[in-house]
């Protein structure tokens, strides 16, 4: 399912309903990206984080996308979470080069989808002998847009504390050109991820309207207490911002410990009729100063039982975030296979 398929839909709601129907009611999102890039040999000790590989190792980016597709992901996210024009300029790149790199993040994901479809056509069955999923199916490419805190690379996307100088206008101006570029990059949708506060959610929604963005989007928040978003803002109020925007096709939670997800789904359900997306981290906590994760997460075996409960509670797009792997996504895919209506 490419961009032409998406543009044929008359609205964001029809896009996601049609896609979920083709997926059997539940779609699988990919998993952690930086962890996998490092496993493939990338050095991400850089303010650009995984976006650094757009410059140094684009073949690794493509390889990770393919790993997730072969694990059963129906939606793959571009490696643009921490890619900003401002961040690339700080590394000495021109505006033109910076904009080209942003677009390239989506192009690489689309290339991976094409390669995957070719492998599916060449395969004699839906699953290879080594457990790879080789099934021709609708696949969406989402252009990832991280928060302002992700650009700062100081861990503030996990606190939402930007200071008094950062207001609505500042955030809209910061994101405007990047959102416009990614919306016209060939992606099927825009993924506003790890949104830490209500102010930035409002900025994203207003940008969609002000820039007359045609590409639909999802809005995904993070929480550290299972009640509010990380800034302390009400999750219900944040989710309601997504509900109010017709260009937002789904609302949900990412990069949040699995143990909090069920209550967060129930909270979101109270304020939205849109599909709910859930892609938690492994449960480990991140130290933004030391750039380290604590080794306290759940195993893939422990992750999967959560998934069934999340879907029963109302989630219809499920995957993983930081520190989850293709093995996690493969386990989710297998767990959901018996429950899908296809």
> pLDDT at position 301, please?
79
pLDDT in tens, 87-126: 999 989 999 999 999 999 999 999 999 999 999 999 988 7
pLDDT band at 6 (very low <50, low <70, confident <90, very high): very low
Judged against a pLDDT cut of 60, whether residue 226 lies above it is answered with yes
Tell me the C-alpha distance between 174 and 71, whole Å: 35
Tell me the C-alpha distance between 152 and 143, whole Å: 19
Question: In 203-293, which ranges are E strands?
Answer: 217-221, 248-254, 276-279, 286-287, 292-293
> pLDDT at position 11, please?
62
pLDDT band at 243 (very low <50, low <70, confident <90, very high): very high
Apex 277 CA angle, 273 and 283, nearest 5: 140
Share of the chain above pLDDT 70, in %: 91
First to last CA, the chain: 17
Q: What is the pTM of this model?
A: 0.92
Task: Report the chain's C-alpha Rg in angstroms.
Answer: 18
> pLDDT at position 338, please?
74
Tell me the C-alpha distance between 85 and 82, whole Å: 10
> pLDDT at position 5, please?
40
Choose between 20 and 14: higher pLDDT.
20
Instruction: Name which of 202, 196, 212, 275 is nearest 247 in CA terms.
Output: 212
- Annotated binding-site residue numbers: 255, 321-322
In the predicted model, what is the mean pLDDT of the chain?
90
- Annotated binding-site residue numbers for Zn(2+): 255, 321-322
Tell me the mean pLDDT in the region 141-170: 94
């Amino acid at each position: 399912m490419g961009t032409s398929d998406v543009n044929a839909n008359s609205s964001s709601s029809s896009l996601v309903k049609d896609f979920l129907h083709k997926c059997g009611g539940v779609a699988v999102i990919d998993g952690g990206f930086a962890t996998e890039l490092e496993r493939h040999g990338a050095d991400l000790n850089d303010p650009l984080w995984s976006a650094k590989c757009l410059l140094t190792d684009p073949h690794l980016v493509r390889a990770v996308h393919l790993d997730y597709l072969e694990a059963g992901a129906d939606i793959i996210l571009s490696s643009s979470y921490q890619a900003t024009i401002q961040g690339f300029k700080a590394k000495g790149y021109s505006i033109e080069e910076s904009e080209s790199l942003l677009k390239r993040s989506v192009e690489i994901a689309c290339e991976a989808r094409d390669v995957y479809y070719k492998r599916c056509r060449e395969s004699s069955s839906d699953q290879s002998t080594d457990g790879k999923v080789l099934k021709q199916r609708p696949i969406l490419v989402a252009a990832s847009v991280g928060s302002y805190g992700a650009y700062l690379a100081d861990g503030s996307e996990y606190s939402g504390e930007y200071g008094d100088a950062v207001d609505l206008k500042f955030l809209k101006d910061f994101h405007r050109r990047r959102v416009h570029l990614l919306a016209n990059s060939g992606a099927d949708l825009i993924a506003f991820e790890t949104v830490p506060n209500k102010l930035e959610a409002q900025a994203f929604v207003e940008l969609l309207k002000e820039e007359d963005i045609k590409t639909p989007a999802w809005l995904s928040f993070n929480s550290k207490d299972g009640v509010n978003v990380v800034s302390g803002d009400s999750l219900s109020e944040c989710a309601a911002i997504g509900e109010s925007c017709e260009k937002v096709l789904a609302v949900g939670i990412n990069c949040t410990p699995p143990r909090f997800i069920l209550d967060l789904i129930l909270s979101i359900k109270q304020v939205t009729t849109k599909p709910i997306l859930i892609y938690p981290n492994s449960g480990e906590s991140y130290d933004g100063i030391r750039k380290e994760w604590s080794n306290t997460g759940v195993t893939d075996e422990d992750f999967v039982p959560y998934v069934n409960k999340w879907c029963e509670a109302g989630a219809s797009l499920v995957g993983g975030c930081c520190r989850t792997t293709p093995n996690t996504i493969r386990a989710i895919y297998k767990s959901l296979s018996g429950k899908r209506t296809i």
